[in-house]
């Protein structure tokens, strides 16, 4: 994992009960891997999956770990075991700020809140500002099931996506992580999803296969045209007040955006 969870563009899921896949996932180019103890692991293999995750972390490797939800039979043991590691914890079905506060007291400021319920969307502001939450992520498949809509529909989930982006900005945390593209052999669908991801202001995307990683990284990397524009804006930023670059009005908010584009491009 080359970037911390706050800055990662691509976050690749790997089942926690398949430790032979951890190294391959880490070598995929993903900014972060997510060792999944929840949906990807059968009930009878969850304790085993936790041990595999702990062994990976004990070897000095890095990971986000998606734990099982608050109130499940495995949650407390997973939190207790992972509290002393360096892992960022992804909390599924995140919607209760008070419960996130309990998790924060156990693990500190290293929680990615996966919002995948209608209540979570309604209370996204409370979740984003809960103690310990460093980033929001969209669980589009579970949310779509609750809403009875197609998880691939951009229109059906537009409001949910907008809520996460606005809540993250209001709470001054990292831009959120967009949900998964479930089609593995349709690059045109991934590209269409990524166009929405970038247009709406997400900073990252969840991946479910290594072949999705490079397209995600590329889409979330500023283009050369964007970088050239941003640098011209910053070169002009010594001017006082409102000024013009390439026929476009430049004021402080535009300069702030230009700085963020350059930062995303590596400086």
Q: Are 75 and 202 in the same domain? A: yes
Q: Return the pLDDT at 256.
A: 63
DSSP conformational letter for 69: P
DSSP H helices in 61-109: 75-82, 97-107
Q: Are residues 161 and 232 in the same domain?
A: no
68 in any annotated domain:
yes
* Region 173-185 average pLDDT: 96
3-class DSSP state of 159: helix
Task: For residue 212, tell me if it sits in a domain.
Answer: yes
Distance CA 155, CA 157 (A): 6
End-to-end CA distance of the chain: 20
For residues 185 and 248, membership in a common domain is answered with: no
Higher pLDDT, 225 or 26: 26
- Report whether 89 contacts 103 (CB < 8 A): yes
Residue 240 is predicted with a pLDDT of: 59
5 within a domain of the structure (yes/no): no
Indicate if 147 and 247 belong to the same structural domain: no
Band of pLDDT at residue 254, cut at 50, 70 and 90: low
pLDDT score at 2: 47
Give CA–CA dist 156/109, Å, rounded: 32
Token pair for 188 = 């045109």
CATH number of the domain that residue 99 is part of:
3.20.20.60
* Co-location of 142 and 173 in the same domain: yes
Regarding whether 248 and 155 lie in a shared domain, the answer is no
183 plus 231 within the same structural domain: no
Overall number of domains in the chain: 2
Among residues 219, 235, 252, the one where a domain terminates is: 219
On whether residue 214 sits in a domain, the answer given is yes
196 and 163 both lie in a single domain: yes
| Confidence label for 260 from pLDDT (cuts 50, 70 and 90) | low
Report the distance separating Cα 212 and Cα 188, nearest Å.
12
Residue 1 lies in a domain: no
Cβ-proximal residues to 103 (8 Å cutoff; 6+ apart), any chain: 70, 79, 89, 91, 111, 132
> Considering the domain boundaries, does residue 148 fall inside one?
yes
Handedness of CA 226, 229, 234, 235 (dihedral sign): positive
Confidence band for 224, pLDDT divided at 50, 70 and 90 = low
Q: Between these two residues, 11 and 224, which has the higher pLDDT value?
A: 11
- Residue 125: how many CB atoms within 10 A of its CB? 15
Q: Are residues 109 and 235 in the same domain?
A: no
With residues binned 3-state (H G I as helix, E B as strand, rest as coil), the percentages for the chain, rounded to 5, are 45, 15, 40
Q: Which domain holds residue 134?
A: 10-219
Non-local (6+) Cβ contacts of 3 within 8 A are 9, 31, 32
Do 250 and 199 reside in the same domain of the chain? no
For residue 120, what are the CA distances in angstroms to 123, 146, 151, 217, 251?
A: 5, 12, 16, 27, 35
Q: What is the pLDDT of residue 223?
A: 60
Asked, for residue 250, whether it belongs to a domain, the answer is yes
43 lies in the same domain as 142: yes
139 token code pair: 């669980």
Distance, in Å, from the CA atom of 50 to the CA atom of 235, rounded to the nearest integer, reads 51
Between CA 242 and CA 251, with CA 248 as vertex, the angle to 5 degrees is: 30
Q: ∠159-199-100 over CA atoms, to 5°?
A: 50
Give the burial string for 145-158 (b: 16+ CB within 10 Å, else e).
Answer: eebeeebbeeebbe
| Residue 62 located in a structural domain | yes
Do 194 and 255 belong to one domain? Answer: no
């Amino acid at each position: 994992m080359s970037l911390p969870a706050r800055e990662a563009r691509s976050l690749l899921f790997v089942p926690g009960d398949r430790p032979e896949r951890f190294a391959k996932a880490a070598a995929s180019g993903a900014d972060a891997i997510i060792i999944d103890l929840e949906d990807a692991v059968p009930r009878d293999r969850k304790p085993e999956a936790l041990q595999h995750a702990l062994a990976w972390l004990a070897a000095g490797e890095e990971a986000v770990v998606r734990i099982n939800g608050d109130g499940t039979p495995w949650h407390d043991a997973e939190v207790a075991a992972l509290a002393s590691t360096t892992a960022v914890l992804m909390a599924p079905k995140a919607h209760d700020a008070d419960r996130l506060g309990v998790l924060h007291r156990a693990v500190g400021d290293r929680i990615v809140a996966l919002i995948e319920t209608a209540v979570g969307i309604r209370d996204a502001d409370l979740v984003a500002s809960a103690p310990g939450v460093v980033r929001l992520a969209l669980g589009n498949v579970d949310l779509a099931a609750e809403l009875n809509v197609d998880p691939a529909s951009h229109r059906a989930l537009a409001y949910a996506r907008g809520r996460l982006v606005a809540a993250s900005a209001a709470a001054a945390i990292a831009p959120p992580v967009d949900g998964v593209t479930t089609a593995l052999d349709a690059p045109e669908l991934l590209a269409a999803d990524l166009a929405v991801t970038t247009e709406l202001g997400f900073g990252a995307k969840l991946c479910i296969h290594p072949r999705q990683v490079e397209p995600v990284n590329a889409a979330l990397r500023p283009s050369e045209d964007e970088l050239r524009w941003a640098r011209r804006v910053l070169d002009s930023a010594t001017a006082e007040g409102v000024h013009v670059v390439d026929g476009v009005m430049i004021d402080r908010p535009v300069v702030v955006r230009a700085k963020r584009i350059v930062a995303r491009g590596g400086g």
